Structure 1
Amino acid sequence: MERIVNPSNFSIKQCLLWFILSILIPFNSGMANTQNIKNIVILPFETNSQSDISYITSGAWNMLYSRISWRDHVRVIDRHKLSGSLDNLTAVTENERIFNIAQDTSAEYVMTGSITEFANAFSLDVKLYDIENRSYLTFYDQTEKIDQVIKKINLISAKINKKVFDRTTTTFERMEKEKLISEEELKRIHPEQMMPIHQSKTNDPWWKFW
């Protein structure tokens, strides 16, 4: 005897199957994306100044947070979550301190920085530690005006995005364009600069091991 399939039952089963798949597929994709996200800790910047510039360090952290965060790629550890790790820190050396913070927060990168005021100028020193490779990248900049410090932080974040995470931002593109214009202007004023010369020093950041 031939079995008769009820179309309505078949349709309900199909709908149920598609409903289950629609839930599981995005979930699995999200899990895959989460596993590829790099975590970075940005420690509060140290200050060396006779004036109270704590508002600048707070602004620096906020700037870095907004510029370094990259959806599905880079996650900046929330500083409220970080405070507990700093309170329980008993490391002796700087390298040990960095490693323990990374371990406690499951971070692949840790950033430190300082803002120093000297002779009516402000200097910025930033280090980005690569925990897995036990190396760090250094960045330096300076300005004569305190209201330009946050702008300089923005430029440093653009370099970090490009150098470390291979992310080209609008700020980085503008920096490269301005650099090219400056080089062309220099060649126009000093034609002898058009001849290639060997340079023993460079301002480009490079990795150091620790």
Structure 2
Amino acid sequence: MNDTRRYVAEFIGSLLLVFFGVGSAVAAAVEGGVVVVALAFGFIMLVLVYTIGPLSGSHVNPAVTLGVLLSGKISPVGAVAYWIAQLAGAVVAAFLLWVLTRWGGVADQTGVLGTNSYGAHINMGGAMLLETVLTFLFVLVVLVVTTRTKHTAFSGLAIGLALAAAHLVGITLDGTSVNPARSFGPALFEGGDALSQLWLFIVFPLLGGALAALVAPLLLTGQPEKP
């Protein structure tokens, strides 16, 4: 029963993250849009950490779940269930956004349902590097701050700010993924380049998450030297 509740929490969390985050991109005004979208992603992530974090850990991101799996804090079966829930939540959120833009009278400011892509402002190799580094930062922050028990009250703030910072850097370049589920849902409904380039926004965020899992123990082990 507890496992089911965790999976439901990840489904709902992923749905809300994509709906509010990608939705902010779809509806954001042209001027100030980058800041608006970055803050929307950061704020909704912060809210989710405190809302569903005590239940599921508030991964809402397959790259985070991979990092947690490699850290030995979730079983392979549990990780797969999390991934299914996250992808399902992202698909439902993308469908709702698609309905709003097709039949709800909402003008899509991105023109591509807030999907991720490369080519206009960054090439494929640049997007590979960007997504790896941005996801590495985000997952590293998640793994470190959720392990340091002395500062758990502020973990949501750190995680939300890390996600906002990643978006401030990446939005104008490739739309910022750092989350395969976030890319997967909108790409299914947009099709075209977003769908053909989706592999990059799955593979390289996962790579960034795996690298973060390797580095995180180096920041958590050992005691500071006495003066």
Q: TM-score range by the shorter chain?
A: under 0.3
Which TM-score applies when normalising by structure 2?
0.22
Which TM-score applies when normalising by structure 1?
0.23
Larger relative contact order, structure 1 or 2 (CA cutoff 8 Å, min sep 6) = 2
Instruction: Select the structure that is richer in helix.
Output: 2
Larger Rg: 1
